[in-house]
Amino acid sequence: MSTPSTPPRYDFYSPIHKGLRRTMSRLLERMGSANFADAAQSSAILGELRVLLEACSHHIKHENTFIHPTIEERLKGASSKTAQEHEGHRKELAELQHQADALQQAPEQARPALAHTLYLSFSRFVGENLAHMAEEEQELMGKLHAHFSDAELMAMEGKILSTIAPDLMMTFMTMMIPAMNRDERAAVLGGMKQAAPPEAFNAVLQVAARPNLDTADWQDLTRKLGVSA
Protein backbone atom coordinates (compact mmCIF):
# COMPACT_ATOMS: atom_id res chain seq x y z
CA MET A 1 0.00 0.00 0.00
CA SER A 2 1.27 3.47 -0.87
CA THR A 3 1.76 6.21 1.70
CA PRO A 4 2.11 9.97 1.13
CA SER A 5 5.91 9.57 1.18
CA THR A 6 6.07 6.69 -1.31
CA PRO A 7 5.11 6.60 -4.99
CA PRO A 8 1.76 4.97 -5.82
CA ARG A 9 1.80 1.29 -6.70
CA TYR A 10 0.75 0.09 -10.12
CA ASP A 11 -3.03 -0.37 -10.32
CA PHE A 12 -4.51 -2.02 -13.41
CA TYR A 13 -8.04 -2.02 -11.98
CA SER A 14 -8.57 1.73 -11.75
CA PRO A 15 -8.69 2.80 -15.44
CA ILE A 16 -11.08 0.11 -16.67
CA HIS A 17 -13.24 0.36 -13.57
CA LYS A 18 -13.53 4.12 -13.97
CA GLY A 19 -14.63 3.56 -17.54
CA LEU A 20 -17.20 0.95 -16.60
CA ARG A 21 -18.58 3.10 -13.77
CA ARG A 22 -19.05 6.09 -16.05
CA THR A 23 -20.62 4.04 -18.84
CA MET A 24 -22.97 2.17 -16.51
CA SER A 25 -24.08 5.31 -14.68
CA ARG A 26 -24.72 7.36 -17.80
CA LEU A 27 -26.61 4.53 -19.50
CA LEU A 28 -28.73 3.89 -16.42
CA GLU A 29 -29.71 7.56 -16.35
CA ARG A 30 -30.60 7.51 -20.04
CA MET A 31 -32.64 4.34 -19.67
CA GLY A 32 -34.66 5.94 -16.89
CA SER A 33 -35.66 8.94 -19.01
CA ALA A 34 -35.98 7.26 -22.41
CA ASN A 35 -39.17 6.82 -24.40
CA PHE A 36 -38.99 3.14 -25.29
CA ALA A 37 -42.22 3.40 -27.26
CA ASP A 38 -40.11 5.26 -29.82
CA ALA A 39 -38.48 2.52 -31.88
CA ALA A 40 -35.42 4.56 -32.87
CA GLN A 41 -34.67 5.72 -29.33
CA SER A 42 -35.25 2.23 -27.96
CA SER A 43 -32.97 0.65 -30.56
CA ALA A 44 -30.18 3.16 -29.86
CA ILE A 45 -30.20 2.59 -26.11
CA LEU A 46 -30.42 -1.18 -26.46
CA GLY A 47 -27.45 -1.03 -28.82
CA GLU A 48 -25.44 0.83 -26.18
CA LEU A 49 -26.52 -1.70 -23.59
CA ARG A 50 -25.34 -4.62 -25.72
CA VAL A 51 -21.93 -3.01 -26.20
CA LEU A 52 -21.62 -2.56 -22.44
CA LEU A 53 -22.76 -6.12 -21.69
CA GLU A 54 -20.18 -7.50 -24.11
CA ALA A 55 -17.45 -5.36 -22.54
CA CYS A 56 -18.43 -6.57 -19.06
CA SER A 57 -18.38 -10.18 -20.22
CA HIS A 58 -14.86 -9.80 -21.61
CA HIS A 59 -13.72 -7.96 -18.49
CA ILE A 60 -14.90 -10.83 -16.29
CA LYS A 61 -13.17 -13.34 -18.56
CA HIS A 62 -9.90 -11.40 -18.42
CA GLU A 63 -9.90 -11.31 -14.63
CA ASN A 64 -10.90 -14.96 -14.31
CA THR A 65 -8.26 -16.09 -16.80
CA PHE A 66 -5.25 -13.95 -15.98
CA ILE A 67 -5.60 -12.39 -12.52
CA HIS A 68 -7.29 -14.94 -10.29
CA PRO A 69 -5.16 -18.00 -11.17
CA THR A 70 -1.99 -15.95 -10.76
CA ILE A 71 -2.78 -14.63 -7.30
CA GLU A 72 -4.04 -18.06 -6.21
CA GLU A 73 -0.55 -19.43 -6.86
CA ARG A 74 0.82 -17.22 -4.09
CA LEU A 75 -2.19 -16.66 -1.83
CA LYS A 76 -4.69 -19.51 -1.83
CA GLY A 77 -8.29 -18.38 -1.62
CA ALA A 78 -7.51 -14.70 -2.26
CA SER A 79 -9.85 -14.47 -5.25
CA SER A 80 -12.57 -16.87 -4.09
CA LYS A 81 -15.17 -14.23 -3.20
CA THR A 82 -14.51 -12.22 -6.34
CA ALA A 83 -14.72 -15.30 -8.55
CA GLN A 84 -18.00 -16.34 -6.95
CA GLU A 85 -19.46 -12.89 -7.59
CA HIS A 86 -18.30 -13.11 -11.19
CA GLU A 87 -20.42 -16.22 -11.69
CA GLY A 88 -23.44 -14.29 -10.49
CA HIS A 89 -22.60 -11.42 -12.82
CA ARG A 90 -22.33 -13.79 -15.79
CA LYS A 91 -25.87 -15.01 -15.12
CA GLU A 92 -27.11 -11.43 -14.78
CA LEU A 93 -25.46 -10.48 -18.07
CA ALA A 94 -27.30 -13.31 -19.83
CA GLU A 95 -30.61 -12.26 -18.26
CA LEU A 96 -30.09 -8.62 -19.23
CA GLN A 97 -29.37 -9.70 -22.80
CA HIS A 98 -32.55 -11.81 -22.79
CA GLN A 99 -34.62 -8.89 -21.51
CA ALA A 100 -33.08 -6.54 -24.08
CA ASP A 101 -33.90 -8.96 -26.90
CA ALA A 102 -37.49 -9.30 -25.68
CA LEU A 103 -37.87 -5.52 -25.57
CA GLN A 104 -36.36 -5.12 -29.04
CA GLN A 105 -38.89 -7.56 -30.52
CA ALA A 106 -41.94 -6.39 -28.56
CA PRO A 107 -44.85 -4.46 -30.11
CA GLU A 108 -45.06 -0.77 -29.21
CA GLN A 109 -47.75 -1.16 -26.56
CA ALA A 110 -45.73 -3.77 -24.66
CA ARG A 111 -42.44 -1.86 -24.61
CA PRO A 112 -42.98 0.47 -21.61
CA ALA A 113 -43.57 -2.39 -19.15
CA LEU A 114 -40.69 -4.45 -20.52
CA ALA A 115 -38.45 -1.38 -20.49
CA HIS A 116 -39.21 -0.73 -16.83
CA THR A 117 -38.36 -4.34 -15.96
CA LEU A 118 -35.08 -4.02 -17.86
CA TYR A 119 -34.35 -0.69 -16.17
CA LEU A 120 -34.79 -2.20 -12.71
CA SER A 121 -32.71 -5.27 -13.59
CA PHE A 122 -29.94 -3.08 -14.96
CA SER A 123 -30.15 -0.83 -11.90
CA ARG A 124 -29.56 -3.82 -9.64
CA PHE A 125 -26.68 -4.98 -11.85
CA VAL A 126 -25.05 -1.55 -11.75
CA GLY A 127 -25.38 -1.30 -7.98
CA GLU A 128 -23.85 -4.72 -7.43
CA ASN A 129 -20.99 -3.98 -9.81
CA LEU A 130 -20.18 -0.63 -8.24
CA ALA A 131 -19.73 -2.37 -4.90
CA HIS A 132 -17.86 -5.27 -6.51
CA MET A 133 -15.36 -3.06 -8.33
CA ALA A 134 -14.69 -0.98 -5.22
CA GLU A 135 -13.96 -4.15 -3.27
CA GLU A 136 -11.59 -5.37 -5.97
CA GLU A 137 -9.67 -2.11 -5.81
CA GLN A 138 -9.66 -1.87 -2.01
CA GLU A 139 -9.17 -5.52 -1.09
CA LEU A 140 -7.89 -7.64 -3.98
CA MET A 141 -5.53 -4.96 -5.30
CA GLY A 142 -4.02 -4.72 -1.83
CA LYS A 143 -3.33 -8.45 -1.86
CA LEU A 144 -1.78 -8.17 -5.29
CA HIS A 145 0.44 -5.33 -4.08
CA ALA A 146 1.53 -7.41 -1.10
CA HIS A 147 2.55 -10.43 -3.18
CA PHE A 148 3.60 -9.03 -6.57
CA SER A 149 6.00 -6.35 -7.76
CA ASP A 150 4.84 -3.58 -10.08
CA ALA A 151 6.78 -5.25 -12.89
CA GLU A 152 4.85 -8.47 -12.31
CA LEU A 153 1.55 -6.60 -12.26
CA MET A 154 2.43 -4.88 -15.53
CA ALA A 155 3.30 -8.26 -17.06
CA MET A 156 -0.04 -9.64 -15.87
CA GLU A 157 -1.84 -6.74 -17.51
CA GLY A 158 0.26 -7.17 -20.64
CA LYS A 159 -1.02 -10.71 -21.05
CA ILE A 160 -4.58 -9.42 -20.88
CA LEU A 161 -3.94 -6.65 -23.40
CA SER A 162 -2.34 -9.09 -25.85
CA THR A 163 -5.62 -11.02 -26.10
CA ILE A 164 -7.89 -8.03 -26.79
CA ALA A 165 -8.98 -7.53 -30.39
CA PRO A 166 -8.58 -3.99 -31.82
CA ASP A 167 -12.32 -3.27 -31.97
CA LEU A 168 -12.83 -4.33 -28.36
CA MET A 169 -9.78 -2.32 -27.31
CA MET A 170 -11.32 0.76 -28.92
CA THR A 171 -14.53 0.11 -26.98
CA PHE A 172 -12.60 -0.06 -23.72
CA MET A 173 -10.57 3.07 -24.54
CA THR A 174 -13.75 4.98 -25.42
CA MET A 175 -15.08 4.11 -21.98
CA MET A 176 -11.88 4.79 -20.06
CA ILE A 177 -10.43 7.98 -21.54
CA PRO A 178 -13.26 10.39 -20.60
CA ALA A 179 -13.59 8.73 -17.19
CA MET A 180 -9.98 9.43 -16.16
CA ASN A 181 -8.64 12.65 -14.70
CA ARG A 182 -6.26 14.71 -16.80
CA ASP A 183 -3.03 13.30 -15.38
CA GLU A 184 -4.24 9.69 -15.64
CA ARG A 185 -5.38 10.26 -19.20
CA ALA A 186 -2.05 11.74 -20.24
CA ALA A 187 -0.11 8.94 -18.55
CA VAL A 188 -2.09 6.17 -20.24
CA LEU A 189 -2.01 7.74 -23.68
CA GLY A 190 1.60 8.82 -23.23
CA GLY A 191 2.53 5.19 -22.68
CA MET A 192 0.52 4.19 -25.71
CA LYS A 193 2.25 6.86 -27.81
CA GLN A 194 5.59 5.26 -26.96
CA ALA A 195 4.54 1.63 -27.42
CA ALA A 196 1.83 1.47 -30.08
CA PRO A 197 2.10 1.95 -33.84
CA PRO A 198 1.43 5.61 -34.78
CA GLU A 199 -1.73 4.73 -36.70
CA ALA A 200 -3.19 2.88 -33.70
CA PHE A 201 -2.32 5.74 -31.35
CA ASN A 202 -3.85 8.33 -33.70
CA ALA A 203 -7.00 6.23 -34.08
CA VAL A 204 -7.48 6.16 -30.32
CA LEU A 205 -7.01 9.94 -30.15
CA GLN A 206 -9.55 10.61 -32.90
CA VAL A 207 -12.14 7.93 -32.06
CA ALA A 208 -11.93 7.43 -28.29
CA ALA A 209 -10.53 10.71 -26.98
CA ARG A 210 -11.45 13.74 -29.06
CA PRO A 211 -15.22 13.10 -29.44
CA ASN A 212 -15.58 12.36 -25.72
CA LEU A 213 -13.61 15.23 -24.18
CA ASP A 214 -14.58 18.87 -23.81
CA THR A 215 -12.38 21.53 -25.37
CA ALA A 216 -10.36 22.22 -22.22
CA ASP A 217 -9.65 18.54 -21.55
CA TRP A 218 -8.72 17.91 -25.19
CA GLN A 219 -6.33 20.86 -25.25
CA ASP A 220 -4.76 19.73 -21.97
CA LEU A 221 -4.27 16.23 -23.38
CA THR A 222 -2.72 17.30 -26.67
CA ARG A 223 -0.38 19.71 -24.87
CA LYS A 224 0.85 16.99 -22.52
CA LEU A 225 1.23 14.49 -25.35
CA GLY A 226 2.96 16.97 -27.63
CA VAL A 227 0.54 16.46 -30.52
CA SER A 228 -1.48 18.97 -32.53
CA ALA A 229 -4.97 19.76 -31.27
CATH classification of the domain holding 27: 1.20.120.520
Residue 86 domain-assigned?
yes
CB 200 within 8 A of CB 164: no
DSSP secondary structure code for residue 8 in this structure: P
Residue 43 domain-assigned?
yes
Identify the domain containing residue 220 by its residue range.
Answer: 180-229
- Number of domains the chain contains: 2
Residue 110 domain-assigned?
yes
103 shares its domain with 191: no
101 shares its domain with 25: yes
Q: Which of 139, 164, 189 is the last residue of a domain?
A: 164
Tell me how far apart the alpha carbons of residues 171 and 66 are, in angstroms, rounded to a whole number: 20
Tell me how far apart the alpha carbons of residues 197 and 202 are, in angstroms, rounded to a whole number: 9
Closest CA to 181 of 6, 22, 1: 22
Closest CA to 26 of 215, 212, 170, 188: 212
Q: So what's the pLDDT on residue 7?
A: 83
- Residue numbers in the chain where pLDDT is lower than 50: none
67 shares its domain with 118: yes
42 shares its domain with 121: yes
CA of 135: how far to CAs of 38, 46, 140, in Å? 38, 29, 7
Q: So what's the pLDDT on residue 132?
A: 98
